[in-house]
Amino acid sequence: MNDTWLDLARFIREMRTPAGLPLDDKLTRDMDLYHDLDWEPAKIVEVMQAWAERFHVDLRDFDVAYHVPSANMRKRDIVVAALKSPFSSSARELLGGRSLTLGMLEEAMKRGAWKQD
């Protein structure tokens, strides 16, 4: 493993610790901040800002709503989408978003900038 990954893993563990329970699972590059770490959009934004500051990553292209569409939705709209999700692929897509993985953060650290797909 390289230093970039080790630095990122250490940072994620620091950010996770105040959540009440330490992160015992082994961190992997395919872990998603929203789905696997169970971080809400506000927590993701907070962590991304702290991460960018610590590792000198330009976040101009980062938009949490691209990865977690519910970040810009009202609670009522989220509930409606959740109720529709068993029957509607668009509702499932709206709730699911796109991946935001630790591997993506590692790559951005190497580049020094976040690049939106």
What are the tens digits of pLDDT across the range 47-61? 999 999 999 999 999
- Is 93 part of a structural domain of the chain? yes
10 domain-assigned: yes
Q: Is the pTM of this model over 0.85?
A: no
84 pLDDT above the threshold of 70: no
| Rounded Cα gap, residues 60 and 23, in angstroms | 29
Query: Can you tell me the mean pLDDT for 76-101?
Result: 67
Is residue 116 one of the residues assigned to a domain?
no
79 domain-assigned:
yes
Average pLDDT over residues 38-45: 87
Closest CA to 9 of 101, 102, 100, 99: 102
44 falls within a domain: yes
For residues 96 and 101, give the distance between their C-alpha atoms in angstroms, rounded to a whole number. 14
Q: Is residue 117 part of a domain?
A: no
Provide the domain limits for residue 62: 3-111
- Residue 59 domain-assigned (yes or no): yes
Q: Round to whole Å and give the CA distance between 1 and 20.
A: 28
Q: pLDDT at position 53, please? A: 97
80 vs 54, residue with greater confidence: 54
d(CA 52, CA 103): 15
